[in-house]
């Protein structure tokens, strides 16, 4: 399986390199010779495979970010080329089937090159904006169990707290949940970006503590796969020290307006010895409202047959960068969004933060505000 993954990444990088090289050759055509055109092609392939080799050999820290950044750069070049091709094709269709006067070919070519540069820069600006400026998605859900009063639940998955997403992001999250008048914040996994180095170096504990104190019922979280890559203990300690209530294969009962509400939290399935959901449910009163935090949405079909009223998940990032959102949708029963399935309601967030590089295209940084009502 690991070899198949690396082969897939290798092939994709070569395809991206070919597409980017051809796109760049077209853009530079008026100012380059055949020799320079060849040099452009060779240079792009050298950069791609050199970065890939450095990443595999782990020559420097966070080398995957360099590969991801370069791949995104090439991806945006290919997307730009595709958009320009569509516009150019549309132009000639209009010219062919109407009396529209044909412009001078050199004027058209120059205009397309200028437009290509604008689109390329625009993609980066928009993707950066989508990663750092979150939206609040609101959803009202009515469950088939009695509730004395509605519960307003904020959901922020996949923060990936690190050097690129830190104190300002935590403070922004606090402002959003306060403005939304949320009663509680649920964070279903991938809270840290693999370790606590940046969290400690930039003293983010004070910001996280303030966030926890801003909600009537505080913050509850589970650990995701990125929280379990060898740094589970320091991550857990940092979160608990800031006031986050961790539910690692655990359950807790809240009292909301004299109404018991059960929170159930699971480890991510990266932890092979995690407890089955049915074992956790054996510890709760299934006639009372039950909310499950499960990082991955991979068990939604099974959970839809259990007495779970609301499950909140993340992990998928909704693909993070187009067209990966279509892949996420294809391989998951619910890869993103909200759906009532079987006996329960399911919310899969695209995440509040991002993985690797601070860009989103076809997805958006977000939190969910779920208003939970009873019958």
Q: How far apart, in Å, are the Cα atoms of 322 and each of 17, 72, 154, 190, 329?
A: 17, 10, 26, 21, 12
Quote the percentage of the chain above a pLDDT of 70.
98
Dig out the tokens for 75 from the structure.
């991806």
What is d(CA 263, CA 251) in angstroms, rounded to the nearest whole number? 6
Give domain limits for the chain: 2-130, 135-373
Q: What is the predicted pLDDT for the residue at 1?
A: 59
Over the chain, what is the mean pLDDT? 93
Dig out the tokens for 19 from the structure.
């597409």
Read off the pLDDT of residues 120-158 as tens digits, 9 standing for 90 and up: 999 999 999 999 999 999 999 999 999 989 999 999 999
Question: Do 354 and 131 meet the contact criterion of CB atoms below 8 Å apart?
Answer: yes
Read off the pLDDT of residues 86-109 as tens digits, 9 standing for 90 and up: 988 887 888 787 766 667 778 888
pTM above 0.85, yes or no: yes
Backbone angles phi, psi at 220, to 5 degrees: -120, 140
Q: What is the predicted pLDDT for the residue at 62?
A: 74
Pick the CATH number of 135-373 from 3.40.50.2300, 3.60.21.10, 3.40.50.1820, 1.10.340.30: 3.60.21.10
What is d(CA 58, CA 146) in angstroms, rounded to the nearest whole number? 54
Query: Position of tokens 């935590």?
Result: 170
What is the pLDDT averaged over residues 76-85? 95
Question: Do 281 and 343 meet the contact criterion of CB atoms below 8 Å apart?
Answer: no
Dig out the tokens for 165 from the structure.
């997403």
Indicate whether 347 pLDDT > 90: yes
Quote the percentage of the chain above a pLDDT of 90.
81
What is the pLDDT averaged over residues 260-274? 94
Q: What is the band of 38 on the pLDDT scale with cuts at 50, 70, 90?
A: very high
Q: Which of 195, 216, 198, 199 is nearest to 208 (CA)?
A: 199
């Amino acid at each position: 399986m690991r070899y198949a993954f690396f082969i897939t990444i290798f092939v994709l990088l070569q395809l991206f390199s070919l597409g980017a090289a051809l796109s760049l050759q077209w853009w530079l055509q008026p100012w380059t010779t055949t020799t320079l055109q060849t040099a452009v092609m060779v240079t792009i392939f050298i950069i791609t495979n050199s970065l890939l080799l450095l990443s595999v050999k782990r020559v420097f820290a966070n080398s995957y970010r360099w590969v991801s950044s370069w791949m995104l750069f090439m991806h945006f070049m290919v997307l730009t080329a595709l958009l320009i091709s569509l516009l150019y094709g549309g132009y000639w269709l209009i010219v062919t089937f109407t009396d529209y006067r044909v412009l001078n070919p050199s004027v058209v070519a120059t205009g397309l090159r200028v437009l290509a540069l604008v689109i390329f820069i625009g993609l980066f600006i928009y993707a950066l904006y989508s990663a750092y400026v979150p939206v609040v998605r609101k959803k009202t859900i009515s469950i088939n169990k009695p509730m004395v009063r509605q519960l307003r639940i904020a959901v922020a998955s996949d923060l990936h707290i690190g050097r690129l997403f830190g104190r300002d992001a935590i403070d922004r999250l606090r402002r959003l949940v306060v403005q939304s008048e949320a009663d509680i914040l649920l964070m279903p996994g991938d809270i840290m970006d693999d370790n606590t180095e940046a969290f400690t170096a930039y003293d983010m504990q004070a910001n996280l503590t303030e966030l926890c104190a801003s909600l009537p019922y505080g913050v509850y979280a589970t650990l995701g796969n990125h929280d379990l890559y060898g740094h589970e203990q320091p991550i857990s300690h940092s979160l608990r020290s800031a006031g986050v209530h961790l539910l690692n294969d655990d359950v807790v009962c809240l009292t909301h307006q004299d109404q018991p509400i059960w929170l159930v939290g699971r480890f991510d399935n990266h932890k092979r010895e995690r407890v089955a959901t049915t074992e956790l449910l054996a510890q709760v009163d299934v006639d009372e409202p039950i909310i499950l935090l499960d990082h991955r949405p991979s068990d939604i079909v099974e959970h839809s047959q259990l007495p779970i009223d609301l499950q909140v998940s993340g992990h998928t990032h909704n693909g993070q960068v187009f067209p990966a959102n279509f892949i996420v949708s294809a391989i998951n029963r619910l890869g993103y969004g909200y759906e009532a399935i079987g006996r329960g309601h399911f919310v899969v967030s695209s995440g509040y933060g991002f993985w690797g590089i601070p860009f989103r295209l076809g997805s958006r940084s977000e939190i969910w505000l779920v208003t939970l009502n009873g019958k």
